[in-house]
């Protein structure tokens, strides 16, 4: 059970707000934004709806937004337009007396929720029966709950994002014989592959099975233990999509996110974090044809922002949770700044999670 404390979700958006047109509410948000001045900063993840990104002070991927939240000295209020674990990370990292607001508490991340603290603690206990836990480095992808981040921090472990997973995994293996990687098996596997770790040294841990479904010998031999979690948005892509894209767009370059399956990553021309994909599109010469395997809102925006290039989606895959943030819950959060949709993380979780996050920022 999570020890994370969330309070006062602002679900009850008044009817007078819900009746406003998108045009009217956008105008009101802009006016409010101006009157609040430096009291507030608006952060938006790349997968947000275009109308939200257009209003943001900063947009970025998880790592970029974590850094901005950590360095924000002016604004007392940080409004985070993304999914819950991102707003929690901002609340963990931000300076004292800053408040982080998340316009819709229901905007969670199913991948993050695949590794609950109870299951992870149970797995850790089982692992301790087979090998010395001090030889295992817990590493969690930033797409995880605050208490899993704290779990890693308490045990000398670290957090990673898709931008720095390779650096973090290398660091972890320099310090301990094994890594237990939560919760995204695909990012873990693709990163281990990129580091040249053999398939037989990577095992999958299914929390529903004793010893994660592995034998003691397999565990003893493993260098990387991958938690059985996945992102449904990125595992939607298949090698058939890649083959089809190459047929329809001869000469195209295909770039995908490392949360995609190993087969998709291997069949693409490049893979990397959201930030990497943005730079890939920006840096491509005019006239290039790029097919991208990631969340559709980002791809659509890249296509609009680079009309001199042909940018297409590998297939249409939308993150329904990112989509839950809209003009109405953003406006209401800004009207009731500091009173609704405030994310709070208990001090003990914050302290331990901060250790793991700070370690990541150092390594990255």
Residue 90 dihedral angles phi and psi, to the nearest 5°: -65, -40
> Please, which residue, 108 or 156, has the CB nearer to ligand SF4?
108
Residue 255 dihedral angles phi and psi, to the nearest 5°: -125, 135
Strands across the sheet containing 158-160: 158-160, 136-141, 178-182, 224-227, 202-205
Which among 108-116, 152-160, 205-213, 341-349 is the span making contact with ligand SF4, rule CB under 6 A? 108-116
Give the shortest CB-230-to-ligand SF4 separation in angstroms: 9
Sign of the alpha-carbon dihedral angle for 230, 234, 235, 239 = negative
Give the shortest CB-231-to-ligand SF4 separation in angstroms: 3
Give the shortest CB-62-to-ligand SF4 separation in angstroms: 9
Among 42, 78, 90, 109, binds ligand SF4 (CB under 6 A): 109
> Please, which residue, 136 or 277, has the CB nearer to ligand SF4?
277
Give the x-and-dash track for 138-177 against ligand SF4 (CB under 6 A): -----x----------------------------------
> Please, which residue, 83 or 158, has the CB nearer to ligand SF4?
83
Binding footprint of ligand SF4, residue count (CB under 6 A):
11
Whose structure tokens read 């500091």? 338
**SS3 letters across 167-215:** HHHHHHHHHCCEEEEECCHHHHHHHHHHCCCCHHHEEEECCCCHHHHCC
Interface with ligand SF4 includes 29 (CB under 6 A)? no
d(CA 86, CA 146): 10
d(CA 105, CA 233): 20
Strands (E), 294-349: 310-313, 342-343
Question: Which residues have a Cβ under 8 Å from the Cβ of 247 and sit 6 or more positions away?
Answer: none
Among 56, 94, 192, 233, binds ligand SF4 (CB under 6 A): 233
Whose structure tokens read 């899993």? 148
Give kind and range of the element (H or E) at residue 83: none
Interface with ligand SF4 includes 256 (CB under 6 A)? no
d(CA 107, CA 231): 15
> Please, which residue, 136 or 264, has the CB nearer to ligand SF4?
264
DSSP state of 38: G
Interface with ligand SF4 includes 83 (CB under 6 A)? yes
Window 287 to 306, contacts with ligand SF4 (CB under 6 A):
295
> Please, which residue, 136 or 165, has the CB nearer to ligand SF4?
165
Interface with ligand SF4 includes 111 (CB under 6 A)? yes
Interface with ligand SF4 includes 56 (CB under 6 A)? no
Interface with ligand SF4 includes 81 (CB under 6 A)? no
Among 42, 142, 322, 340, binds ligand SF4 (CB under 6 A): 322
Interface with ligand SF4 includes 110 (CB under 6 A)? yes
Among 78, 136, 231, 334, binds ligand SF4 (CB under 6 A): 231
The two three-digit tokens of residue 160, written as one number: 């990673």
> Please, which residue, 110 or 133, has the CB nearer to ligand SF4?
110
**Angle CA 296–206–216, to nearest 5:** 140
Whose structure tokens read 């083959």? 243
* Helix, strand, coil % over all residues of the chain, rounded to 5: 50, 15, 35
d(CA 343, CA 74): 19
Give the shortest CB-143-to-ligand SF4 separation in angstroms: 5
Which among 95-103, 157-165, 318-326, 340-348 is the span making contact with ligand SF4, rule CB under 6 A? 318-326
> Please, which residue, 17 or 318, has the CB nearer to ligand SF4?
318
Give the binding site for ligand SF4 (CB under 6 A): 83, 109-111, 143, 231, 233, 295, 319, 321-322
């Amino acid at each position: 059970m999570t020890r994370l404390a969330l309070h006062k979700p602002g679900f009850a958006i008044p009817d007078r707000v819900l009746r406003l047109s998108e045009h009217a509410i956008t105008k009101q948000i802009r006016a409010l934004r101006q009157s609040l001045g430096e009291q507030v900063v608006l952060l938006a993840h790349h997968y947000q709806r275009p109308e939200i990104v257009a209003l943001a002070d900063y947009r970025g991927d998880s790592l970029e937004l974590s850094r901005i939240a950590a360095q924000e000295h002016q604004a007392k209020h940080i409004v985070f337009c993304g999914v819950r674990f991102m707003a929690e990370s901002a609340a963990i990292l931000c300076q004292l007396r800053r408040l982080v607001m998340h316009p819709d508490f229901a905007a969670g991340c199913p991948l993050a929720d695949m590794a609950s603290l109870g299951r992870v603690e149970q797995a850790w206990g089982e692992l301790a029966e087979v090998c010395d836990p001090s030889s295992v480095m817990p590493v969690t992808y930033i797409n995880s709950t605050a208490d899993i981040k704290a779990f890693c921090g308490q045990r000398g472990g670290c957090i990673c994002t898709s931008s720095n997973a390779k650096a973090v995994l290398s660091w972890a293996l320099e310090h301990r014989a094994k890594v237990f990687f939560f919760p995204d098996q695909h990012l873990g596997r693709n990163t281990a592959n990129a580091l040249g770790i053999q398939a037989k040294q990577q095992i999958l841990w299914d929390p529903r099975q004793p010893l994660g479904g592995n034998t003691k010998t397999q565990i003893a031999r493993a260098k990387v233990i991958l938690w059985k979690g996945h992102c449904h948005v990125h595992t939607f892509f298949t090698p058939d999509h890649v083959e089809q894209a190459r047929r329809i767009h001869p000469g195209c370059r295909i770039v995908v996110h490392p949360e995609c399956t190993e087969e998709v990553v291997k069949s693409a021309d490049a893979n990397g974090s959201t930030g990497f994909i943005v730079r890939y599109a920006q840096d491509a010469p005019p006239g290039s044809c790029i097919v991208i395997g990631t969340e559709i809102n980002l791809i659509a925006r890249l296509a609009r922002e680079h009309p001199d290039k042909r940018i297409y989606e590998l297939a249409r895959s939308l993150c329904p949770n990112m989509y839950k943030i809209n003009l109405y819950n953003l406006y209401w959060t800004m009207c009731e700044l500091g009173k609704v949709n405030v994310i709070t993380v208990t001090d003990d979780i914050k302290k331990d999670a901060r250790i793991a996050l700070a370690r990541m920022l150092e390594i990255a």
